[in-house]
Amino acid sequence: MGSYSTVYQRSLSAPEGFWLDAAGMVDWDEAPTRALDDTRVPFYRWFPDGVLNTCFNALDRHVRDGHGEQTALIWDSAMTGMVARWTYRELLERVAVFAGALREQGVDKGDRVVIYMPMIPEAVIAMLACARIGAVHSVVFGGFAPKELAARIDDAHPSLIVAASCGLEPNRVVEYKPIVDEALRLSSHQPKAVVVLQRDRHQAELGARDVDWNAATARAEPADCLPVRATDPLYILYTSGTTGRPKGVVRDNGGHAVSLCWSLANVYGIGPGEVFWTASDVGWVVGHSYIVYAPLLSGATTVMYEGKPVGTPDAGAFWRVVADHRVKALFTAPTAFRAIKRMDPDARKLAEHDTSSLQTLFLAGERLDPETHKWAVDTLGVPVIDHWWQTETGWPVCANLRGLEPMPVKAGSPTVPVPGYDLAVLDTSGRPLPPGQDGALCIRLPLPPGTLPTLWGDDERFRESYLSQYPGYYATGDNGYIDSDGYVFVMGRNDDVINVAGHRLSTGSMEAVLAAHPAVAECAVIGVYDTLKGQVPRGFVVLKSGVEIDRATLRDELVAAVREQIGPVAAFRDVDVVDGLPKTRSGKILRKPMREIADRGDTTVPSTIEDPEVLDRLRPTLRADHPGS
Ligand code: COA
Ligand code: AMP
């Protein structure tokens, strides 16, 4: 390990100089003189005296520097058959006008704007327009139901909502406007207005507080960039935690811009003018960072794809997009490749397209199983790079840094810690574990720039959720180990968060839905192995005594309730009625052993942990996981 080792060591031993140097990749209105502010530990802030505008860095500076005619965004919609290209100049013009429209709607610096939109360029325009005037956007993924949207509205208190009339799924048109209306009926907070972009496929009915996007922009004056402090919030992105209440991950302006510019060059090896395609959704962190901000901040060309990897029209959908737009690097979740492999195991569709531009495939968002890794390598013949990170960090924690020093790949490992991240594996009492031993993956504080400074409006929850268990460290929620070569292996979550087709979900929120059914006495939801989605949720319910209900009816009601209250993205389809749930003596449900039994295909779940046969089956796990039980 040559340059990686030098750069990594410097990032930890001299972070001040390291990050001030990296800050040179960004245009500042007032350049920072200090990198780290540690006056309010454990709430660290980066570039405390820096002033900048993120939208200026993503658009205006490229136009100023003579790159206005370069393509900034390619929108490719397999759902409509449309392709549109936007130069930096065109995108800037549209963003400045929409920023003016936001101002006319009364949106000021620091106000929140909830964006509930599918994969269309207007979602990017709305995000950048917020950044331009110092407003804070909060994008909500379209697969969430009204109740989840309402929970985010009630936490963020937006002064405005920006929505589209519909999203397009292969099997249906998803009408967004009724979802927004229902969310606003459920929420206590009420925004001043809802701006609605009407799509051709479905026109929404507008009510008294709704404003048509075109009408709002037709009368708006373009707005200039408002310089903000590096530490001011750029966005809030809600993610699933252990409980049903989503966590509002806050992202600042300065650290975010610096870390994304640094990572696109050093991790992904992408420079100005190169084509980068992240096949995810703007509603997730992967979309925020690598569809929108990193490519545009770096002057690259980003591809925004509306569609699925398969069936749109066939298993060659991804290869067609790579070929049509001469994509240099593709980033997606392993589940997308499992879907392609399932439909076209011999990759016959690949031969129909010229994918010679593709140099690297990056995969993240969930565990990359060795079989999928091997298939992708054999099929594409390019390096397939697993990397590990999460909504909270905003950019990779572990990666094989293709722009800095490519390293040999070890299947099952996202390679090494990225500069800035001081990674440790800790045992339950917080002691560092030697190489090869599995424990909690933690990052020594301070976290690097671009990571979450806190949770929206809730410093205490931030401290309690991430910093209290291992003082001096941030707990990632993942378990894993580091081998003797320094390669990191991520083995899975150590909490009740599950990952379904690369989508992060809380089993706690699904349990709350099941528990509310009048026939259910208690319940548990666990994530079980799935060959396509990696994990899917599976519910177990115990009926109230004396309740007579047809099991198929109950199942249908519970599945419908989860879909209605959390959303189709939960992919909740399996529920079993059981006599009891296995628990510790203190009454805690033993989810991990349940998961193991369910993964083995058993349909019955043992009722109590006192059952000697069950204890026998579970003893090894119990000893490792619950030393006291
Ligand atoms: N708006 C409304 N509904 C949505 C939605 C959206 N933005 N996104 C998904 N849904 C719905 C789907 O239509 C589906 O509904 P259904 O039950 O009526 O069929 C449900 O939510 C589950 O969607 P999904 O998890 O996407 O499953 P799928 O079977 O439609 O597709 C994959 C499976 C693997 C092809 C798909 O998940 C995929 O392409 N994943 C790529 C990975 C990715 O984007 N990860 C994000 C983080 S990197
Ligand atoms: P999200 O916040 O939605 O990005 O989900 C983050 C979680 O996804 C992590 O905490 C991990 O559990 C999982 N994850 C992401 N990338 C990987 C990876 N490369 N390998 C294993 N798990 C991953």
Distances (CA, A) of 126 to 32, 75, 103, 143, 235: 28, 15, 12, 19, 12
Which ligand is closest to the CA of 282, given by its number?
1
For 286-310, how does the pLDDT look when each residue is reduced to its tens digit (9 = 90+)?
999 999 999 999 999 999 999 999 9
Closest atom of ligand 1 to 567 CA is: 21
**In angstroms, what is the span from residue 123 Cα to ligand 1's centroid?**
18
B/e letters for 413-447, b = 16+ CB within 10 Å, e = fewer, are: bbbbbbbbbbbbbbeeebeeeeeeeebbbbbebbb
Residue whose CA lies nearest to ligand 2 atom number 4: 390
Cβ of residue 32 lying under 6 Å from some atom of ligand 1: no
The reported pLDDT for the residue numbered 593 is: 76
Which ligand is closest to the CA of 176, given by its number?
1
Cβ of residue 400 lying under 6 Å from some atom of ligand 2: no
Asked if residue 313 has a cis previous peptide bond (ω within 30° of 0), the answer is yes
The reported pLDDT for the residue numbered 38 is: 97
Distances (CA, A) of 259 to 15, 122, 262, 266: 13, 25, 5, 10
State how far the Cα of 35 lies from the Cα of 15, in Å rounded to an integer.
Answer: 8
Residue whose CA lies nearest to ligand 2 atom number 11: 366
551 CB contacts (<8 Å, ≥6 apart)?
577
**In angstroms, what is the span from residue 40 Cα to ligand 2's centroid?**
29
Cβ of residue 335 lying under 6 Å from some atom of ligand 1: yes
Return the closest-CA partner of residue 327 out of 291, 297, 364. Answer: 291
Cβ of residue 537 lying under 6 Å from some atom of ligand 1: no
Which ligand is closest to the CA of 480, given by its number?
2
Return the closest-CA partner of residue 72 out of 50, 47, 55, 52. Answer: 55
Residue 108 CB: number of other CB atoms within 10 A? 12
- The full set of domain ranges for the chain reads 3-307+387-475, 497-625
State how far the Cα of 477 lies from the Cα of 468, in Å rounded to an integer.
Answer: 12
Write down the pTM of the prediction: 0.94
Amino acid at 181: D
Q: Which CATH class is domain 3-307+387-475?
A: alpha beta
The reported pLDDT for the residue numbered 468 is: 97
The reported pLDDT for the residue numbered 279 is: 98
**In angstroms, what is the span from residue 569 Cα to ligand 1's centroid?**
6
The reported pLDDT for the residue numbered 619 is: 42
Is the four-CA dihedral 80, 85, 88, 92 of positive or negative sign? Answer: negative
Which ligand is closest to the CA of 337, given by its number?
1
Residue whose CA lies nearest to ligand 2 atom number 15: 365
Is the four-CA dihedral 71, 77, 81, 82 of positive or negative sign? Answer: negative
Cross-strand pairs, 493: 478
3-state secondary structure of 624: helix
Cβ of residue 493 lying under 6 Å from some atom of ligand 2: yes
**In angstroms, what is the span from residue 54 Cα to ligand 1's centroid?**
30
Closest atom of ligand 2 to 391 CA is: 2
Which ligand is closest to the CA of 285, given by its number?
2
Cβ of residue 285 lying under 6 Å from some atom of ligand 2: yes
**In angstroms, what is the span from residue 140 Cα to ligand 1's centroid?**
14
Residue 348 CB: number of other CB atoms within 10 A? 11
Cβ of residue 384 lying under 6 Å from some atom of ligand 2: no
Mode of pairing for the β-strands spanning 473-482 and 488-493: antiparallel
DSSP 487: -
pLDDT beneath 50, residues of the chain? 1, 603, 605-610, 615, 617-629
Cβ of residue 250 lying under 6 Å from some atom of ligand 1: no
Q: Are 439 and 424 in contact (CB under 8 A)?
A: no
* Domain 497-625 CATH (choose: 3.40.50.720, 3.30.300.30, 2.40.128.520, 2.60.40.1220): 3.30.300.30
**Which alpha helices (DSSP H) does 47-170 contain, by range?**
54-55, 61-62, 88-104, 121-132, 146-156
**In angstroms, what is the span from residue 252 Cα to ligand 1's centroid?**
29
**In angstroms, what is the span from residue 86 Cα to ligand 1's centroid?**
27
The three-point CA angle 267-270-276 to 5° equals 110
**In angstroms, what is the span from residue 33 Cα to ligand 2's centroid?**
34
**In angstroms, what is the span from residue 333 Cα to ligand 1's centroid?**
12
The reported pLDDT for the residue numbered 601 is: 56
Pocket test for ligand 2, best of 240, 487, 490, 494 (most atoms within 8 A of CB): 490
Q: Are 478 and 493 in contact (CB under 8 A)?
A: yes
Q: Mapped to the 3 state alphabet, what secondary structure does 458-482 carry?
A: CHHHHHHHHHCCCCCEEEEEEEEEE
**Residue ranges with strand state E in 350-444:** 360-363, 384-386, 398-399, 416-417, 423-426, 439-444
Which ligand is closest to the CA of 363, given by its number?
2
Asked if residue 170 has a cis previous peptide bond (ω within 30° of 0), the answer is no
Return the closest-CA partner of residue 38 out of 472, 350, 552, 408. Answer: 472
Closest atom of ligand 2 to 285 CA is: 4
